[in-house]
Chains A and B, each alone.
Chain A
Amino acid sequence: MPSAIEVHALSKRFGPVRAVEQLTFEVPEGRVTGFLGPNGSGKTTTLRILLGLVSATAGTATFGGRRYVDLEHPIRHVGAVLEATSFHPTRRAEDHLKSVAIGAGIPLSRVEETLDLVGLSDVARRRVGKFSLGMRQRLQLATALLGDPEILILDEPANGLDPQGIQWLRTFIRYQASLGHAVLVSSHLLSEMEETVDDVVIVSHGQLVLQTTLAELATRAGTSTGMRIRTPEVARLTAALAAVPVAWRQVAADTLVIDGATPEWFGPFAAQHQIVLYELVHERGSLEDVFLSLTHGFDAADPANMGGGQAGPAPMPGGPT
C-alpha cells in the first residue's frame, strides 16, 4: 500500500526541549491512522512540521516524497485542521472560505458545498467572532475540505464538538478513508479513536512507542494480564505456586493475583492441588490500559515484542472485559 505521508527520523528541538526525537512512521492511503500520545508528547509539533509551519531540526516529513512547501497549491492535496487556529473576528464564515478558495485557485462553488457538508450553511453570513468553539472547529474542517484533498491531517478534531458532532466526525473520517484518502488524526484519548482508526502511531516524549494496526493493539489488549483468585486456602495455594514459574502477589487477605495466568491453566492446577476457590476472575486489559501502559512506562517496554508473537492464550479481538 503506497504511503501518503512519510515521517523519517524527524527531530525538533525548541531550545533545550526535545519536542520530537528521531520519529519515523508512515501513513498509508485509504486508511485512518490514529496519532496517539499524551498531551505534550510532540503530536502537534510533528503535524505542524508536516504542514510546513514549524521547521524540523533534523529528518524529513513528506507527502509522496515532497515537502508541503514544495507542493503546488498544497491545500488541494493536504487538508488540515489544527488546534488554536483562529479566524478574523469580523470576517464572515463564507468570506473566510472564499479568501482561502480564491488564494488557492479553488472554484467558489466549493465554499457552499463545504459549508453544507459541515452543517454551517445557516451561519455562512455570520461573523466568525460570534462562533462557538464547535462551530469554529467545523469551519476549520470546511477550510480543510475546500480543496477536496486526498490527505487529511486533523489535530484533535473532536475538541469542542458535542456528542452528535463527534459521531458525525467519525462517520465523516471513515467516509474519507473509503474514498481512498489518507487520514492522520491525532488524539490524546485512544477511546475517542478506537471506533474510527485502522492503524495507530503511538508517541510519548516525542518518540515513537509503537506503530501497528488497531487489530493488533486489540489483540494485545485482549491478552491475559492474569487471574484474580479468592480462596480460604491462601497458604496452600502459595505453597503450590512456589513449584511453578509464575509471578504472583497477594492483594488482600484471601486474594491473590497471578500474572499471565489463564483459566485453562489455573483451573486444572487448582483441581490437582484440591484447593477450594470462592472466586476466579480472568483479568484482561482494555485498549485504553494498553495505551496508558505504553505511553507511561514505555521505556521498559520493548516494541519488538508487541503486536504478535505473544505467548499465551488465544487472542480475543476487541476484548475489554
Chain B
Amino acid sequence: MIAAIRSEWLKLRTTAVPWVLTGIALLINALLILVIFLSHDNGTGGPGGGGAFVSPGYTVPHTTQQLRNLVGSGFQGYILALLLGVLCITTEFRHKTVTTSFLVTPHRPRFVGGKLIFAAIAGAVLAVIMLVATVVGGGLTLAARGGSFSDMIHQLPAVAPGMILVFALFAILGVGIGSVLTNQVAALIVCLGWFIILEGILVQLVHSAEKWVPTGAATAAANLTRGRGSDFGLFNWWQGTLLMLAYGLVFAAVGSIILTRRDIT
C-alpha cells in the first residue's frame, strides 16, 4: 500500500496538477485573508457568517469566532481538494497512462482503492499547506496590526482537524466521481456545476436537503473539534463524516464496477 501511494505521488507530482491547484488554493486563501482584514478596517463585518461581526474599537480579529474565521480562511479550498481527487484519476484516462497503470495493477477496484487512499492523504496535505500559509500570512498581518498572534494560534486546534478531515473527504469524493466519469472535462464540469450552482439551488428549493448534500455533510464534519453539535440543522460531525465518506465510496464502488467491465483498447 505504501508502494502504491509513493507511486501515485510520483505520478502526480510529475504533472502540473498539484502545483496549479495548490497555487490557486493559496491565492484564494490570500484574498480571503485580505478581505477579513479589510472588513475590519471598514467595520462592515467579516465573511463566514455567524459571529464574525466586527467589534467596535478593534481593527483586527480578536474574538474567538473572528480568530477561528481567520485561521480557517482557507476552508473554501475544499473545492480544490475535490478537483485534486478528480484529476488524480481522470488524468490517467486523458493521457492514456491508465494502460500502464492497469498492467501494473490489473485488479481495477484495487487501482481505485489506491487512488482513494492517496487522494485522502493529498487532500489532507493540501489542508495543512493552507493552514500553515494562513498562520504565517494571516498571523504576521495580525501581529503587524497589533493583534495577538498567540490568540490566533490557540484557535488552531479547534479549526485544523476539521479542515484537514473535510479536505480529505472531498478528495475521496473527487476520486469517486472521477472513477465514474473518467472523461476529465465531463468530470470537472459536473463537479463545478454541482458545487457552485446546483447544490445551492437545491438547498434553496428543498431546505431539508441541506444536511444531506455533500457540502452540508462536510460542514458538519468540520465541527470535529469545535465542540458544537448539530447546529444550523446539520448532522453532528461524525454523522457528516460518514455521509461524506459514503458519497465518495459509493461513487468509487460504482466506478470500480464500471472500470472492471471496461475494455482498454
Contact = CB atoms under 8 A, between A and B. Distances in A.
A105 B3 contact: yes
B112 to A, nearest CB: 14
Given A52-B102, A53-B102, A90 B265 contact: no
B145 interface: no
Interface stretch (A74-82, A198-206, A280-288): A74-82
B111 to A, nearest CB: 10
B11 interface: yes
Nearest to A52: B106
B264 A74 contact: no
A87 B107 contact: no
B103 A75 contact: yes
Interface residues of A, number: 35
A102 B103 contact: no
Contacts of B97: 86-88
Given A68-B106, A90-B15, A90-B16, A54 B95 contact: no
A86 B105 contact: no
A103 B104 contact: yes
B96 A86 contact: yes
B4 interface: yes
A99 B96 contact: no
Contacts, number: 83
A100 interface: yes
B11 A51 contact: no
Contact of A88 (B15, B103, B105, B261): B15
A82 B104 contact: no
A303 interface: no
Contact of A99 (B11, B99, B261): B11
Contacts of A45: 265
A102 B102 contact: no
Interface string A53-91: 111000000000000110100110000101011111111
Interface of A: 14, 44-45, 48, 51-55, 68-69, 71, 74-75, 80, 82, 84-92, 95-96, 98-100, 102-105, 143
